[in-house]
């Protein structure tokens, strides 16, 4: 598949130019370009490349089958992403490292509209997948269309959730108050390049990346000197 390429693990995240033009969302910059991250499940670097006519579809996988869905879609030549983190848990009296999803039931699929409907409706092995729907839009048929995320916004989200840091967390039951509506870019440290809004969480300034209607994920503490405002 020409959208996702497995490569050898190596330092650096070389950028590949893209011919695809996506709608810019907010102030997230340079995010319609290809990028690489380390995939925890595969254990290698993975390159995501924008493809004309494709968007990221937000899917729901029931009964804790997020990783199963990810592996099945990839085995069928599709491009999918599940934000994972590494943790330890006891199994059979032994402490073992395991991968768990950041957000329960959440799977992202990068495809055309036609391919997305095929994966969800025509693949028997994926009969537990359903679409998230965009309740702020109404299609010509009078129904809410499937929720999609542009390549640039997902680039930012994938970069953040691919960073292994125990302080990166999903904000579920916490009341999040943003310090302002300004978008910022992190300019230094482990989270360099991540774009989001600053919120005060547990008495620390942290940058929050939001996928509207789905989830919010916060970085660890980021000092003020490592933040720059991005003008609209």
The alpha carbon of residue 26 and the mean position of all alpha carbons in its chain are separated, in whole angstroms, by 17
Integer Cα distance of 57 and 176 in angstroms: 26
- Whole-model pTM: value is 0.83
As a whole number of angstroms, the distance between CA 113 and CA 55 comes to: 8
Q: Start-end ranges of CATH 2.30.30 in the chain? A: 169-230
Per-residue confidence of the chain (232 residues) as pLDDT tens digits? 333 433 222 223 333 222 222 222 233 444 578 999 999 999 899 999 999 999 999 999 999 999 999 999 999 999 999 999 999 888 888 898 899 999 999 999 999 999 999 999 999 999 999 999 998 898 888 889 999 999 999 999 999 999 999 999 999 767 788 988 899 999 999 999 999 999 999 889 999 999 988 999 999 999 999 999 997 5
Beta strands in 49-105 (DSSP E): 55-61, 79-81, 84-91, 94-101
Phi and psi torsions of 185, nearest 5°: -115, 135
The total of other beta-carbon atoms located within 10 Å of residue 177's CB is: 8
Class of domain 169-230: mainly beta
């Amino acid at each position: 598949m020409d959208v996702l390429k497995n490569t050898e693990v190596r330092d650096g995240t070389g950028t590949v130019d893209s011919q695809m033009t996506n709608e810019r969302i907010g102030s997230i910059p340079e995010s319609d370009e290809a990028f690489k991250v380390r995939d925890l499940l595969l254990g290698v670097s993975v390159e995501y490349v924008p493809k004309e006519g494709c968007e990221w579809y937000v899917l729901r996988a029931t009964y804790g089958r997020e990783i199963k869905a990810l592996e099945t879609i990839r085995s069928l030549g599709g491009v999918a992403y599940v934000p994972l983190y590494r943790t330890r848990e006891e199994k059979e009296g032994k402490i073992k490292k395991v991968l768990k999803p950041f957000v329960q039931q959440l799977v992202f699929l990068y495809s055309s509209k036609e391919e997305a409907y095929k994966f969800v409706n025509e693949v028997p092995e994926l009969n537990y997948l359903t679409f998230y729907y965009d309740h702020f839009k109404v299609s010509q048929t009078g129904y809410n269309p499937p929720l999609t995320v542009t390549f640039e916004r997902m680039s930012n989200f994938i970069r953040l959730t691919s960073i292994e840091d125990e302080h990166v967390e999903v904000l579920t039951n916490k009341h999040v108050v943003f310090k302002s509506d300004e978008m910022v870019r992190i300019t230094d440290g482990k989270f360099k390049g991540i774009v989001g809004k600053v919120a005060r969480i547990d008495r620390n300034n942290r940058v929050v990346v939001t996928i509207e209607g789905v989830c919010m994920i916060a970085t660890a503490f980021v000092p003020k000197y490592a933040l720059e405002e991005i003008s609209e």
